Structure formats: structure tokens, C-alpha cells
Amino acid sequence: MDELVLSGDYLPPRLLYRENELTRLLDSLSESLSGEKKLVALFGLSGVGKSTLAKAACRLFSIGLRRNRLNNGFVHISCYSARTVNALFSQILKFLSPYSTTKGLPTEQIVKSVDSKAIEQNLSFTVVLDDFHALKSDVASDFFAHFTTGKVRLRPFNFVVISHEKNITLHKKRLKLELIECAPYTAEQVAQIIADRVERAFNKGVVPQEVVERVTKLGKEGDIRFKLELLRRAGRIAEQKKADSLTLEHIEEALANMVDSHILEHLPTLEEHELLLLYSICRSIRSSKQGFAIIGEVEREYAEVCSRLSIQPRKHTQVWEYLQKLKKLEIVLTRISGKGQRGKTTVISLNGASLDSTITEVIKEIRRRGLSRSERSNTS
């Protein structure tokens, strides 16, 4: 098995069913050659190929310019890992000067280094901000302002932002905004893409058609990323067991530890109390052993979690708003209790995700934010 072919870093020879979007993005990038300052936003659901599309377009654009003896490159930054202006410019400087160190340096000094390095190399480049929804609006505005107000003098340049949200309103007066939607793949398109990757990643005959069909139907319909990751994990299981072929049993074993891409994408964007409420929902569902929890149990668990973390819990009205946010993001489902339950109350469940895997990812995010020192003994 060639794991690279199933990873998010792989660029296939041809982007199936994204040819129109690729052409539009290349045309937009080319407009910068006339000096136009442009922000292109790729938006769509998780796992529909937005990042791959951006990488393919930027690579083709750079190759085309180099053929015309123009020095061009692109830097791809995840806003999950770079959430401040300082961190964003540090990533750009590493692209321009791989051995530069920025630890402890003030932002303006890093910006000056970026400016001088780009001019020294006579380089124009495209900045791709992936997971743009994870960036706070004031941080994004400040970052773009360094380019639009002349603090970074290189020309031409482009910005491509990747988000699951359509609403991009930053600097509309100084940066021409173009929106490109990556619509969800149809079931037939998903099947073709999965079959193409299977053919490239595995030896012939290793993956039976019934396995391909099963993988195609799992997860959210258009979420290619989830399906490819499922294949990769199942392939590892098969290799560890020294199996001659990938079976449905391998798929089911891998599936037990999977979390949908959209949950992983949204976790870093949740506010502190939204994250703690989700953690409380997961714990309450696990305690109930019924696959769901009622709102009263969740609120009690939430209050206990906040108490252990020495955080003031929010009142019922605010908690209810947090719950509606999680529902809107399709992380949880809610319904009104029916027969077999006393009185009417709100019943909460996860939206098809593995409970144990979701708890694991939520705990990782809590620890990443430094909230968990007093909570570590209670995360089981």
C-alpha cells in the first residue's frame, strides 16, 4: 500500500470533477500579474478537495511563471497551527529562508525580514491560508493590512483562503474578493474518485469491489478525506495482520476509531465553553450507556467540569445557545423526548461519530489549549 496516495499531501495527476474550479482559480491567480490585489476564497464542506485544489492551482501557476522566467512560489499555511499574525509571518519567512529562526522575535521584525527576503530573491508568491475559519477576524484583518498598506512591498502577490464558510468580508475595498465554491461530490463522483485512488495505492486485486463500495457509502456522502483516511487505516490493519487482501472486517475495525472530518475541522474553532459543553455531552452520553443524554444531565456534567477547571460556568440560556451552535455545525443532534421518558426534555446525541474517538479528539483540543491540568485525572 502506498500511504501517500491516500493522504492529504498527495496531488493526483488529474483532479477528477474539479476541472472547472481549477481553471477559475488559475485565471484568478493570473490576474495578479497586472498588479491587481486579489483574495480568492475557496469554500465548501469538509473533505471535498479544497486544499488539494489550491495546491494544484498554485503549483501549476508557479510552473507557468517560471517558464516565462518569473520567480514565483507559494506558501501553504494551516490556520489551526498559525493563529497569530506573528505565527503567520513566521511561516512565510520559513518558506523564504528555511533556516531562519523567529522564536521570540517581535512581529514587525519578522515582517521586515519577509519583505527584505522577498525583494532580495525578486520573488512574488501566493499565500494560501487553509482552515481560514479558525482565524479570528481581527488577526486576519491585521495580517492582510501588512500587505495592503505597503509594509510588505513585494508585487505581485495573491491570497487564497480555504474555509467551510462563505462569508469572507475582510478588506473588500483593498482586496478584490472572488468566491469559488467546491460543491459536494455526487455519489457517482465519490465512487469514481475512491476507485481511482485504490487503483493507485494498492496492488491489483488487493481491494475487492465490495470493499470499495462499502467505503464509498461510509461517512458523510461527499467527504473524500474521511473515506481515504479510512482506507489508509484499514490498509495498515491488513498489513499488520499480513492479510492477502483488504476485507470488510478490516474496514469495520478501522471505522471504530474514526472521527468525521467536519468534527476535526470544527474543534479548533469552538469557543472555550462550547468545547467544554461538547466534552460534557460526550461524557454524559457515555455515562448513560444509551447513545444519548438529556439536557439536564449534560448541564450538571458541564457545571462539574467547569468547577474542576476553576472556570465560571455559563447559565442555562447561554448553554442552550452553545448547544444550538453545536447542532448547527452538525456535531450533535437534538430531539424532544418521547415515549418511555418522563416529561418532555431535550435529548442530545452525537451526529453519527464514534463516541470514544470523539472524546479522544476533544480531550486533545482541551489539552492543546492548556485547560486540562486539573482535568487529566477525570478524562477517562
pLDDT digits (tens, 9 = 90+) for 33-73: 776 667 899 998 888 899 999 999 988 888 877 776 667 77
Q: What is the pLDDT of residue 79?
A: 87
User: Residue 264 corresponds to which amino acid?
Assistant: L
307-352 pLDDT tens trace:
999 999 999 999 999 999 898 887 898 998 765 555 688 999 988 7
CB atoms within 10 A of CB 187: 12
Q: What is the pLDDT of residue 124?
A: 76
Q: What is the pLDDT of residue 153?
A: 65
| Residue 355 near residue 338 (C-beta atoms within 8 A) | no
Q: What is the pLDDT of residue 372?
A: 67
Per-residue pLDDT of the chain (380 residues; tens, 9 = 90+): 999 999 888 989 989 999 999 999 999 888 877 766 678 999 988 888 999 999 999 888 888 777 766 677 788 998 888 889 999 999 999 988 998 888 889 999 999 998 888 888 877 778 999 988 878 888 988 898 887 776 666 555 788 999 887 776 554 456 778 899 999 899 899 999 999 999 999 999 999 999 999 999 887 777 898 899 999 999 999 999 999 999 999 999 998 878 777 788 788 888 899 999 999 999 999 999 889 999 999 999 999 999 999 999 999 999 999 999 898 887 898 998 765 555 688 999 988 778 888 999 999 999 988 886 544 444 44
Q: What is the pLDDT of residue 348?
A: 94
Signed CA dihedral, 199, 203, 209, 211: sign only: negative
Q: How far is CA 118 from CA 66, 102, 238, 373, in A?
A: 16, 16, 48, 42
Q: What is the pLDDT of residue 371?
A: 82
Q: What is the pLDDT of residue 189?
A: 93
Q: What is the pLDDT of residue 228?
A: 93
In the chain the domains, ranked by start, together with CATH numbers, are 18-181 (3.40.50.300), 187-258 (1.10.8.60), 270-378 (1.10.10.10)
Q: What is the pLDDT of residue 41?
A: 92
Angle at 36 between CA 34 and CA 41, to 5 degrees: 125
Q: What is the pLDDT of residue 329?
A: 82
Q: What is the pLDDT of residue 374?
A: 45
CB atoms within 10 A of CB 5: 19
d(CA 5, CA 115): 36
Q: What is the pLDDT of residue 172?
A: 47
pTM for this prediction: 0.74
